[in-house]
Amino acid sequence: MRVVLVCALFSLLSSSTACPKECSCNINTKVVDCRGRGLYDIPRRLHPDTQELYLQDNRIRGLGSMAFREIPLVRILDLSNNSITSVSPTALLGLRTLQRLSLAHNSLRELDKRLFGPIHSLTHLDISHNSLWGFSGVMGDSLRNLSHLGLARNRLTRLDRSLLEALGRLDSLTLRGNPWRCDCQLIGLKLWLETYLFKGGVIDEVLCSQPEEMRDRDLQKVPYQLFHACMTTSYHYLFANIHHLESEKLLRGHIHGNHAHPSSHTLHIPMAMGDGFGASGGGNIPECETKQRPRPVNLRHAIATVIITGVVCGIVCLMMLAAAVYGCAYAAIMAKYQRELKKNEELAAAHRKDTTVQEKETLENAIA
């Protein structure tokens, strides 16, 4: 019995101090370094107290479910410069203390919106130099504590503004090297960038790739006048859809009215409609004519357009008000200055006159 206990204790002690043969471990600093070892997978038998794991410059191709369950206390995880193409939605499950994660220089095309769900301590995320087409706005709820986000050198053409607005603690953001499409859908990013920079945030650049006339222009320096067509188009689209829906309602009301007539039932609807419109001279609807389905009004787009227009108009009004206040203040100051100048000139003239009279009287007294 004692032999069994000793063996069990020995195996427990050996496993607690284990270090993968492909890596170098520092028990004091709790750092595991597996850089450039030609690894194809996450090494096993990692110490459960590991706080820093460096796996960059290997050949890892994917991260499976709970890939890091052996090291729940890890704070820094570096997986940059591998060949990672897929990441399981539960790959980071259990890493509640993770603060810095790097997946840069890999071959990722997409990230599941659930990936960062269990992590709320993340402050530094670098997924630059991949092939990401999009970044879900839902992830913003899990990344509220981020201070740095690296998205440079991907294939992003637009970015969800709701994601950025959720990152209230963001200090630096890299977006360089993406094929940004500077159309109407990117005006939200432009508005957010101006607020972000005003608050002291740091960003590299957002260079437009499309359309052709906007190529290589910095989105931050593109004037709002170039987006005026977006607002006009949105208004026209909104009112056209409203008019279309109203027409459909009137048409349906007429059809339902004819349905209520006892002589107008299923097969006689076209005839009733023909009689109803024929008296007014035409307007008959063929029995087998395919009716177009009404296009729904994009209320979110319309509301966003109205809000953006209101913001721009508000800014213009504030600028005009500031100019008017400045002009009035300047005019008041100049008027006061002119009055004082005139008053000083009159006092000086009176003083000179008194001096002349006194000198004349003194001279006359001296002669007498």
Residues 265-303: tens digit of each pLDDT? 333 333 333 333 333 333 343 333 334 444 555 566 778
Single out the residue of 142, 95, 86 nearest to residue 114, CA to CA.
Answer: 142
Residue 254 CB-half CA count within 13 A: 15
Q: Mean pLDDT check: name the lowest of 119-128, 137-146, 182-191, 221-230.
A: 221-230
User: What integer is the mean pLDDT of 305-332?
Assistant: 87
Single out the residue of 117, 91, 121, 118 nearest to residue 106, CA to CA.
Answer: 91
**What's the full length of the chain, in residues?**
368
Task: List for the chain the helix, strand, coil content (%; round to 5).
Answer: 45, 10, 45
Residue 25 has φ and ψ, to the nearest 5°, of: -125, 145
* Mean pLDDT across the chain: 79
Encoded amino acid at 346, one letter: E
Per-residue pLDDT at 9? 44
Number of Cβ atoms within 10 Å of the Cβ of 267: 8
Per-residue pLDDT at 172? 96
Per-residue pLDDT at 229? 63
Burial class (CB in 10 A: 0-12, 13-18, 19+), 53: buried
Q: Mean pLDDT check: name the lowest of 77-91, 234-248, 314-328.
A: 234-248
pTM beyond 0.75:
no
Tens digits of per-residue pLDDT, 178-208? Answer: 999 988 888 889 989 999 999 999 999 999 9
Per-residue pLDDT at 67? 94
What confidence category does residue 228 fall into, taking pLDDT thresholds of 50, 70 and 90?
Answer: low
Q: What angle do CA 212, 209, 303 make, to 5 degrees?
A: 90
User: What integer is the mean pLDDT of 314-342?
Assistant: 86
Per-residue pLDDT at 72? 95
Contact 200, 172 (CB under 8 A): no
What confidence category does residue 32 fall into, taking pLDDT thresholds of 50, 70 and 90?
Answer: very high
Per-residue pLDDT at 239? 46
Per-residue pLDDT at 287? 38
Per-residue pLDDT at 160? 85
Residue 150 has φ and ψ, to the nearest 5°, of: -110, 115
Per-residue pLDDT at 278? 36
Number of Cβ atoms within 10 Å of the Cβ of 69: 13
Query: Which 3 state secondary structure label does DSSP give 172?
Result: strand
Beta strands per DSSP E along 13-144: 24-26, 31-33, 52-54, 62-63, 76-78, 86-87, 100-102, 124-126
Q: Mean pLDDT check: name the lowest of 35-39, 115-119, 133-137, 350-354.
A: 350-354
Q: Is the pLDDT of residue 66 over 50?
A: yes
Exposure pattern of 200-233 as b/e (b: 16+ CB <10 Å)?
eeeeeebbbeeeeebeebebeebebeebeebbee
Higher confidence at residue 75 or residue 324?
A: 75
Contact 204, 152 (CB under 8 A): yes
Contact 15, 45 (CB under 8 A): yes
Per-residue pLDDT at 17? 57
